[in-house]
Chains A and B, each alone.
Chain A
Amino acid sequence: MSKNEEGSVMIKITDMEKFYRTEEVETIALNKLSIHVKTGEFVAIMGPSGCGKSTLLNILGMLDDPDEGSYIFNGIEVAHFTERKRADLRKHNIGFVFQSFNLIDELTVFENVELPLIYTGVPSSERVKRVEEVLDKMQIMHRRNHYPQQLSGGQQQRVAIARAVVNKPKLILADEPTGNLDSTNGNDVMELLTDLNEQGTTIVMVTHSEHDARYSHRIIRLLDGQAVVENIMI
């Protein structure tokens, strides 16, 4: 990798290991994994169940610690950051989209989307502006006062994406974002992610769907915690 190339790398993982231990068994989730993601890239991670996709995504999202190895995010080594530092870095830089949406049932659409802004300390008037802006962009402004359970799956995922992007994160981590959606709604969500990527947001997406993976620039295929193949999408 040239010096020029390294400057545009957002995520660099080297020799990463992650084990899950119970009293009797140790399972290797990531086995000396080394990958990188460039700024502005759209990367899909694929592989069979149990290959370590979700573990990788959790570590990338700083929701979990690796046991060994290095994780450099935007030039900063974060592998052994404290919970507080990770939370701080996470809330300013990373947005999450989940298969099961993970909206908070007690909050309205507006309040769900507003939540990340509250945690980053954005003033109230600014919050209203930004939430409305993003709801408008996701075409769910008319549902702003509804609760998640009053929405269709597709609409819920739009809200989840709106929530993921409202803080203008540099990176979006999507964990099977279309997994709970029919194909029409799934395509809509993929279009949305593509749009966001085209506007400059880096996206790392875990998926089982070859169809969805085709929206990405590159596919990293994992097996037993190791990257076995990388496909460049043309």
Chain B
Amino acid sequence: MLKSYITIAFRSLRRNLSYAFLNIFGLTLGIAACLVIFLVVRNELNYDNYAKAGRIYRVTLNAIDFNSNVSMAIAPKLRNDFPELNVTQVMYNAEVMVKVNNNRFRDKDFSFVDEHFPEIFDLGWIAGDPKTALSEPNSIVLNQTLAHKYFGDKNPMGQFINVENQINAKVTGIIKDQPGNRSVPIQMLASLETIKDQIKDNYTNFWNIGGGFFTFFELPANSAIKNIQARIPVFLKKNWSIEKDVRLPLQPIRDIHFDQKYINNVVTPVSKNTYYALFGVALLIIITACINFINLATAQAIKRSKEVGVRKVLGALRSQLVKQFMGETTVMVLLALVLGVALAALFLTKAHSWMNLTVDASQLQQPVVIFWITGLTVAVILLAGLYPSFVLSAFQPVASLKGGNAQAPRRFSLRKGLVVSQFAISQILIVGTLVVASQMDYFENQDLGFNKDAVISIYVPNQAKTEVLREQLLSNPGVKQVSFSTGAPSYANNAAGFSAPAYGVTKDDVTNLIFADENYIDMFGLKMLAGEKLRKIPATDTSQNFVVNETLIHKMGITDPHKAVGAHFILGGRNANIIGVVQDFQEESKHKLRRPVILMYHAEYFFRASIKLQPTNMNRAIESIGKSWSALFPDNLYQYEFLDEHIASFYEQEQKVYTAFQLFSGIAILIGCLGLYGLIAFAAAQRTKEVGIRKVLGASVWSAVGLFSKEFIALIGVAFFIAAPVAYYAMNSWLQNYAYHISIGPLIFVLAVLASGVIAAVTIIHQALRAALVNPVKSLRSE
């Protein structure tokens, strides 16, 4: 019996190749998309998920912001006051320049860590002693990939590498390549002892919070974190006399990847909701694929009715027919599964370069994933197969043998429901894609308050050479303007506390402090509202003259910029004088509200040169800038970054969401189109006679086409009423994640409904035309 089911399943597929293709193709896409989303979501939700992680916490600072960086002063005091905790300190660097013999490299994820780090984090040691590898100064531990990159097949242990032209470190250990989903990514670890002298100030001052400084601790088993947290206020008071407005939240390491309130994370946190939403999209896709399958299978019912009749006459029970049709569904789903898994694996191997996704395709072989795939397969077989099987097996033999079509159940209301669902899903995803696209455009291009075009930013390793570099750059014909500063507008990363007791700001507020030269305001097109711009002043001039932004004067309660000129505030305990006011500009990402900004001339801190290029021959200009830069700084590696790329990097996570939306919406819409194509084929077959009669009576081809189209136009309309509120609610909630966002206007909905209309029209036109063009004699005879 089983053999007969399988035989007929394959032969039936072969005989109805186009139907099988539509079905299997739709399911393949659906299964592949679902698998990819499952693996991505699983990877993201498993950030820092290892056995011990449940007991590892990060010490954070909550004064004004929630800051994931804390002072180095905290760890030693913690060890003293909480001897039961195993505490470690990390100073993370996103990228460093490494020299090995005469080869230079720039590699990511370099951290200085103390000797306790290996006790807390399991690093998978391949060589070296975890107890001692990081206790001596100038010791470095590499992961396998870097060890091989730097030393090839040579034994790296005991070899030396140079970091940033400052440290000559000896390789004291090799660790495995760490998984991609870690909040503190690690490729290289150097001993914190190496830089202890250089950062000794950070150990004394609670408020000296260097970038990349993290403090972690491991809680002993069977201890409760709430008991530790309860003792923190006493700890703050005892060591730093801090009694109020400052807290040290102890953040579970597993929360780091998802808690968006923290700033200065190594990896931008993403709300878990984003992943749940992505999973929702996967569900929508697989539902669409199943609807598609149901539509196509029941559309085939007419053709199969004679077979059902014959089998029933020959003694088949309904249950046997259900089994037969379920068997056919199973064969198709299994075929789609094989193709879908292959497609998912192929996608994942390419996904790193396409979407910056680091999910290994080998995960497809893990038992949990196999279990999940099995579950998905069974669910799809049941969802897609049960209904058509029951419909097909319910045919009455007498009716089916008499001629089939007339007696085949129309079931159009259910099909209409299914198609409405598909349209609604497509429209929700189209609205979603359009909203994300508009927000991305708004992030990167709209309302920035400064000019970002054709600007590159380069590092200035030695400030004594600033003027030489400036002259060389300005003599380059490819360069339009140059400005030296701590960074272009979006590079702002110097926070300072300011107060203005005379204006009621008694508590320190955080401000972004930008050290910039006299060209900064002009080059970036910042708009002066009042007063004067920054002036070049000699290093000996200690006058405290500042240009500030609107937000700062608003904090001081001043609304008229002209009245702010000449006003004073306190910065770092010193009296500061406002000489000019600029309009607010986007100094950080649009995730956060704009802050007060202070611009000051201070040549000692001009770490970066921003260069506006002539629009023609940019590549040649970049190359020649590189030559003069390398001649000036022979020990360093020339690297440049376009300002707009830097801005885009703030929105990497959103870019991923956007890419995912585009991709998966495309897939859902494509699958939906396949279903629609099946449905119109069904409608065309059912109405062949009607079309024939209408044509005999004088109907034109286009009025016959209209016969099929108007029904779908109505369905698109119904779908829109379901999709619009759902899409609005979902996307509006998403936009609330950002301090600055677009508002969803009616245009997006109009575009979505038009898009789904056009997509539907393109899908149905072929079948509708074919039905309408059939010679009426033929269509009448077919009845």
Q: Which residues of A are interface residues toward B (Cβ below 8 A)?
A: 58, 61, 63-64, 83-84, 87-88, 90-92, 96, 98, 102-107, 111, 115-116, 118-120, 163
Q: A58 touching B12 by the CB < 8 A rule?
A: no
Q: Which of B11, B316, B317 meets A106, CB within 8 Å?
A: B11
Q: How far is the CB of B16 from chain A (nearest CB, A)?
A: 10
Q: B12 touching A102 by the CB < 8 A rule?
A: no
Q: A87-B312, A106-B307, A115-B311 are in contact. List 18 more A-B contacts (CB 8 A).
A: A63-B312, A63-B313, A63-B398, A88-B315, A91-B314, A91-B315, A92-B315, A102-B306, A102-B313, A104-B8, A104-B310, A106-B12, A111-B7, A118-B1, A118-B4, A119-B317, A119-B320, A163-B314
Q: How far is the CB of A177 from chain B (nearest CB, A)?
A: 14
Q: How far is the CB of B20 from chain A (nearest CB, A)?
A: 13
Q: Which residues of B are interface residues toward A (Cβ below 8 A)?
A: 1, 4, 7-8, 11-12, 15, 306-307, 309-318, 320, 396-398, 401
Chain B, Cβ-Cβ closest to A89: B315
Q: B310 touching A83 by the CB < 8 A rule?
A: no
Bound Cα distance A58, B307 (Å) = 17
Q: How far is the CB of B22 from chain A (nearest CB, A)?
A: 19
Bound Cα distance A83, B317 (Å) = 9
Q: How far is the CB of A159 from chain B (nearest CB, A)?
A: 12
Q: Which of A98, A103, A119 meets B315, CB within 8 Å?
A: A119
**Interface CB pairs A-B, < 8 A, 13:** A63-B313, A83-B318, A87-B316, A88-B315, A91-B314, A91-B315, A92-B315, A96-B313, A98-B401, A102-B306, A102-B310, A107-B8, A116-B314
Q: How far is the CB of A62 from chain B (nearest CB, A)?
A: 10
Q: What residues on B are CB-neighbors of A104 within 8 Å?
A: 8, 307, 310-311
Q: B317 touching A84 by the CB < 8 A rule?
A: yes
Q: How far is the CB of A102 from chain B (nearest CB, A)?
A: 5
Bound Cα distance A106, B306 (Å) = 12
Chain A, Cβ-Cβ closest to B1: A118
Q: B315 touching A106 by the CB < 8 A rule?
A: no
Chain B, Cβ-Cβ closest to A61: B313
Q: What residues on B are CB-neighbors of A103 within 8 Å?
A: 310
Known: A98-B401, A102-B401, A104-B307. A119 touches B314 (CB 8 A): yes
Q: What residues on B are CB-neighbors of A107 within 8 Å?
A: 7-8, 11
Q: What residues on A are CB-neighbors of B1 within 8 Å?
A: 118
Q: What residues on B are CB-neighbors of A98 within 8 Å?
A: 401
- List the 8 closest A-B pairs by CB distance, nearest first: A91-B315, A119-B315, A106-B11, A116-B314, A102-B310, A58-B398, A63-B398, A63-B397
The interface centre, meaning the residue of B1, B7, B315, B320 with most chain A CB atoms within 10 A of its CB, is: B315
Bound Cα distance A120, B311 (Å) = 12
Q: How far is the CB of A130 from chain B (nearest CB, A)?
A: 14
The interface centre, meaning the residue of B8, B11, B310 with most chain A CB atoms within 10 A of its CB, is: B310
Bound Cα distance A14, B334 (Å) = 53
Q: B314 touching A115 by the CB < 8 A rule?
A: yes
Q: What residues on A are CB-neighbors of B315 within 8 Å?
A: 87-88, 90-92, 116, 119-120
Q: What residues on B are CB-neighbors of A163 within 8 Å?
A: 314
Q: What residues on B are CB-neighbors of A102 within 8 Å?
A: 306, 309-310, 313, 401
Chain A, Cβ-Cβ closest to B314: A116
Known: A84-B317, A102-B401, A106-B15. A111 touches B4 (CB 8 A): yes
Q: What residues on B are CB-neighbors of A105 within 8 Å?
A: 15, 307
Bound Cα distance A61, B310 (Å) = 13
Bound Cα distance A120, B4 (Å) = 14
Q: What residues on A are CB-neighbors of B311 within 8 Å?
A: 104, 115, 119
Q: A106 touching B398 by the CB < 8 A rule?
A: no
Q: What residues on B are CB-neighbors of A119 within 8 Å?
A: 311, 314-317, 320
Q: What residues on A are CB-neighbors of B307 within 8 Å?
A: 104-106
Q: How far is the CB of B79 from chain A (nearest CB, A)?
A: 78
Q: What residues on A are CB-neighbors of B397 within 8 Å?
A: 63
Chain A, Cβ-Cβ closest to B316: A119
Q: What residues on A are CB-neighbors of B15 within 8 Å?
A: 105-106
Q: How far is the CB of A184 from chain B (nearest CB, A)?
A: 26
Chain A, Cβ-Cβ closest to B306: A102
Q: What residues on B are CB-neighbors of A111 within 8 Å?
A: 4, 7
Q: What residues on A are CB-neighbors of B12 within 8 Å?
A: 106
